[in-house]
Structure 1
Amino acid sequence: MCIYKERIETEGGSQNPITMKLLAVLVALSLSIETYAMEKTIDEIMEEANNDSMSYDLMSGSSSNPMVRIERDIMMTLEDYTERQKAIMEEEKSGKRMKRKATIGRRWPSGRVPYEIEPGTFSSAERTQIDQAIADWNRETCLNFQPRNGEPSAVRFQNGQGCSSFVGRTGNVQPISLARGCRIKRIVIHEMGHAIGFNHEQSRDDRDRFVRIRTENIPQPLLFNFQRLPSSQVNSFGVPYDYRSVMHYGARDFSTNGQITVETLDTNFQNIIGRSPGLSFRDIRLANAMYNCAGNCPQQTCEGEGFVDKNCQCKCPTNDPNNPIQNCQGTPVGSSTSAPVTTTTTSPSGECSDMNQFCAIWAQRGFCSTSRYMMMYCKESCNLCSAAKICEDMGQSCSFLQQRGFCGSDFFRDYMASNCGATCGFCRAGEPLGADGNPIGNNSAPSLRAAAMFLLVPVLVVWRLF
């Protein structure tokens, strides 16, 4: 906001009535943009920043350097994703939680995070948003984001496809990708959270005690984005589940019918999740615990949820989301996670329609003929509403995954069944389907029949309301 005023005054135009009117218009416009951004949840902002329908697929990058993209903005190598899937499968088979390894991603030694900013990419206003995000992490934790000086490991703020980051330190110069829609403080803070080792709050191993994933409102090919991480992969360091976390997505993430996909069991927080303006108290507390910020402080106990910060001072929560932390004085605010309550469910109805607000634009760019996502979610714009029901792959990289043996892998069974049915031989590509949703003359397994039915029955969609 102040950028316009500062520039006008610098150029000596503050006394010109026309100039002042222009200033008023620009300030009002800036305020409207900021208000508009704050009204949206983190996942809604990231959804709008995705500039390519291909970004919804599991696989990203080239065949020589394959990358996995999950939960909209988390990047990882295929090898790391395979190890994660193995851990999930092991815990499912054992029926009990595995021993914790006390890891949330790979940590930065001594909390020191060198960074660089891609030149010629960000405007002065966008650089200010990045600088403010860095300042918040440096002020509230013992993490030290500082300009890179030749270090081999660093983060790089750069342009990219939507918003994304790796979880924890990779050992190389790792990108924090910020497309134009992502260049606001709370999104930058979110992606920096991934870079220091935070996963999404709704993927915690104890999440089922606090949220219900409404699978009936999520297309089966996208369910891989809602996996609950096993306890061997995460550690909460004793910090309770946080509905207010900047790492928590909103209520309708990946919804294609406008209905809730992440339901808070405490209904008081249904409209809170995903709307954090920045770091919450528990985000700060977790980072301080994760990086042992009070390691050199004398032993002391703080009241309630209080913790000892890097300055050996007790810190407690406040009721102000814009200023969530204070020196411990008086009685701290109580826990924000209450006993679960139950609510009723709703189901989508069935009529052909676009399921993404950008379908028409992507169709004009030619994605209808190249993107499986378009075939499923943009039927109206791609003129597929009356098309014959056929068995199709929904993933972009099915051949690549099939060549690596993932069709028969237990670790990838759900994804391959839902997204790569044709390539894996679960059905015959291009074969018309019968009334039951299965290829005529093909006795598909019941679990695959459900996936095929979902993929090929038109769904009524009301996309997110602004």
Structure 2
Amino acid sequence: MALVTASLMAAEIEPPEPVHKGLYFDLDVIKQSGADLSLWSPDNEENPWEASGLLEGDIMIAKVDDLRNVIRDEDKYWPNGVVPYYIAKDHFSQEERSRIRSALKEINDSTCVVIREFQKGDEDFVKIKGNATGCWSYIGRKRGGQVVNLQAPACLRKGTVIHEFLHVLGFHHQHSSHDRDSFIDIHWENIRPGEKGYTL
């Protein structure tokens, strides 16, 4: 009973505004670019994270020093494998918050990582928001807090939430790995102009 009460109390503590909250939040500009996902449905052929208008669709970077398949900068690791998070209550319904928590629980159940509710004293944390366009995350830990954006309804699928939190844990997309050509064949002619991305 005491553990349940402590958990509920921890869930009520809202962190400060994250230092790292994305480079742009001008929804009008992004909507004009066609990246708005507020009307997305499961019938759409394109994955929601591919349409967010960022590096490889869903990676928010401030500079290009993060470009490796898995980050090697230990300063960007989460201490002891613990990732505190907070879901912005005014951005999601109770059912949507439950869906996000269910996806995070799957990471906890399948890995040695602990993704838990924000607690007083946590200096580095993830604030899950839905008020910007698209599904996106930074790569690894950012000091002072960071945003993961999950625009409803497209970004609230379990796989999408897990995908974005793998970025939080420090993973880039596998197809950007330096050794990717040993494992996959890329049909460059099928890639839109300007979307070829980079190789790590």
1:181-235 per-position Cα deviation (integer Å, ceiling 9, x unaligned): 1011110000011001111111112111122222222233222x2x221xxxxxx
Q: Classify 1:136/1:84 alpha carbon distance in 2 versus 1 (closer, same or farther; 3 Å).
A: closer
Match of 2:162 in 1: 189
Cα distance in structure 2, aligned partners of 1:139 and 1:44: 25
- Name the counterpart of 1:170: 142
TM-score by length of 1: 0.31
Q: Which residue of 1 aligns with 2:124?
A: 153
Work out which structure has the larger RCO, using CA pairs closer than 8 Å and 6 or more positions apart in sequence: 2
The yes-or-no answer on 1:108 pairing with 2:111 is no
The 1:207–1:112 alpha-carbon spacing in structure 2 relative to 1, beyond 3 Å, is same
Which residue does the alignment assign to 1:76? 61
CA contact (8 A) 2:48 2:135 kept: no
Give the structure 2 partner of residue 214 of structure 1. 187
1:45 maps to what in 2? 48
What letter corresponds to residue 125 of structure 2 in structure 1? A
2-side partners of 1:132 and 1:117: how far apart? 13
SS in 1 for 2:83: strand
Distance in 1 of aligned mates of 2:139 and 2:59: 7
How many residues are matched?
Answer: 156
Corresponding letter in the other structure for 1:46 = W
In 1: Cα distance, 2:165 partner to 2:71 partner:
23
Counterpart of 1:157 in structure 2: which amino acid?
Answer: I
One-letter code aligned to 1:71: E
**Alignment TM-score, normalising by the size of structure 2:** 0.69
How far is 1:144 from its partner?
1.1
In structure 1, distance between residues paired with 2:59 and 2:149: 11
Amino acid at match of 1:171: R
Question: What letter is aligned with 1:162?
Answer: G
Letter in 2 for 1:140: S
Correspondence for 1:3: none
* Aligned CA distance change for structure 1 residues 170 and 211 (closer, same or farther; 3 Å): same
Q: How far apart are the structure 1 equivalents of 2:136 and 2:189?
A: 27
Q: 2-side partners of 1:103 and 1:204: how far apart?
A: 16
Following TM superposition, by how much is the alpha carbon of 1:84 offset from its aligned partner in structure 2, in angstroms?
5.3
Q: Which runs of 5+ in 1 are unaligned?
A: 1-35, 57-68, 88-99, 230-466
Alignment of 1:237-386 (within 5 A): none
CA-to-partner distance for each residue in 1:331-362, whole Å, 9 max, x for gaps? xxxxxxxxxxxxxxxxxxxxxxxxxxxxxxxx
Identity among equivalent positions (%) equals 32
Say which SS state the counterpart of residue 165 (structure 2) adopts: helix
Query: CA separation in 2, counterparts of 1:185 and 1:158?
Result: 16
Code of the aligned partner of 2:162: I
The residue type equivalent to 1:205 in the other structure is H
**Structure 1 runs of 4+ with >6 Å offset:** none
Aligned to 2:3: none
Is 1:121–2:121 an aligned residue pair? no
Partner of 2:14: none
Task: Check if 1:203 corresponds to 2:188.
Answer: no
* 1:212 counterpart SS class: coil
Q: Is the 8 A contact 2:125 2:145 kept in 1?
A: yes
Distance 1:168 1:136, change over 3 A: same
Q: Give the match for residue 330 of structure 1.
A: none
- Cα distance, 1:222–1:192 mapped onto 2, change above 3 Å: same
Distance 1:162 1:101 in 2: 23
Alpha-carbon distance change, 179 to 114 in structure 1, aligned in 2, over 3 angstroms: same
How far has the Cα of 1:105 moved from its partner? Answer: 8.7
Contact kept in structure 2, 1:105 and 1:167, CA below 8 Å: no
Do the aligned residues in 2 keep the contact of 1:104 with 1:199 (CA within 8 Å)?
Answer: no
**How far has the Cα of 1:103 moved from its partner?**
5.3
Map Cα deviations across residues 43-102 of structure 1 (whole Å, 9 max, x no partner): 52334xx5xxxx53xxxxxxxxxxxx3000001113xx1x357x9xxxxxxxxxxxx985
Q: Is the 8 A contact 1:157 1:175 kept in 2?
A: yes
Whether contact under 8 Å (1:105, 1:196) holds in the other structure is: no
**Counterpart residue type for residue 184 of structure 1:** R
Residues 101, 123 of structure 1: alpha-carbon distance in 2 compared, 3 angstrom cutoff: closer
